[in-house]
Amino acid sequence: MQDVQDKISGLRERKRADTHARVHAAAMELFGRKGFEATTLDDIASSAGVSRRSLFHYFASKEDIVLSTKAGLGDLIEAAVARRPADEPLLTMAENALTDMAADFQGPGPRALARLIHDTPALRAGDQAKYEALEGRLALAMATRKDLPADDLQARVVATTAIGVLRMATETWLASDDDRGPEVHGKAAFAALRQAATRID
């Protein structure tokens, strides 16, 4: 009996995951073709083959559909930090972890997503909140990796600075007209930060 219940539960979860992915893909295609503001929830539901009511079981709003793409960034950052040598200086650890993670965001898809968020005021506020949450995740991950107190001030300062560099690197990536990935712009921004820190005026 338990095996049957487990199978039913597994089928439900797979169906839910498939529908979630279908709604998200339909929405992103419409946003790219029609624009964020011009796309309605009814458009998305129709394209995904679900009712408007069902759509709300998966996403609370159009903004949620877009920003949910970044939901796993905190986990990716923590995993990237965990792979770094524990004896790395904090700034080096943050730089290497973030640029390693950014190397996975190649191609037109991630760039189109970043462009959509950048160009849509309704999305930028939510994106700002996610960046602030990432600062805390990065700080705690580095403190844990280096066996420091959870609220270590240096880890928090470095994390805040590093996430700021990540945001600026994203801006320069979007402004560039070449095919280089975001990690290249991130490394350039960290290099500029180090030069500024050692400059004697």
Question: How would residue 92 be classed by pLDDT, with cut points 50, 70 and 90?
Answer: very high
Arithmetic mean of pLDDT over the chain: 86
Q: Show which of 35, 61, 87 is a domain's final residue.
A: 61
> What CATH code is carried by the domain that includes residue 29?
1.10.10.60
Whole-number pLDDT of residue 5: 60
Rounded-to-integer distance, Cα 9 and Cα 85, Å: 40
Our measurement of the distance from residue 191's CA atom to the centroid of its chain's CA atoms, rounded to an integer in Å, reads 23
- 67 located within any domain: no
State the total domains in the chain: 2
Say if residue 193 is in the same domain as residue 106: yes
Say if residue 8 is in the same domain as residue 89: no
Residues 6+ apart with CB under 8 A from 44: 23, 26, 27, 30, 55, 62, 65
Distant-in-sequence contacts of 87-91, Cβ < 8 A, 24+ apart: 90/142, 90/146, 90/154, 90/155, 90/158, 91/158, 91/161, 91/162, 91/190, 91/194
- 91 located within any domain: yes
Whole-number pLDDT of residue 7: 56
Domain, as residue range, for 17: 1-61
Angle, helices 90-102 vs 121-145, to 10°: value is 130
Which of residues 162 and 199 earns the better pLDDT score?
162
Whole-number pLDDT of residue 110: 79
- 14 located within any domain: yes
Whole-number pLDDT of residue 166: 87
pLDDT at 156 over 70: yes
- 57 located within any domain: yes
Say if residue 140 is in the same domain as residue 95: yes
> What CATH code is carried by the domain that includes residue 85?
1.10.357.10
**Unique residue bearing structure tokens 């990935």:** 181
Say if residue 54 is in the same domain as residue 85: no
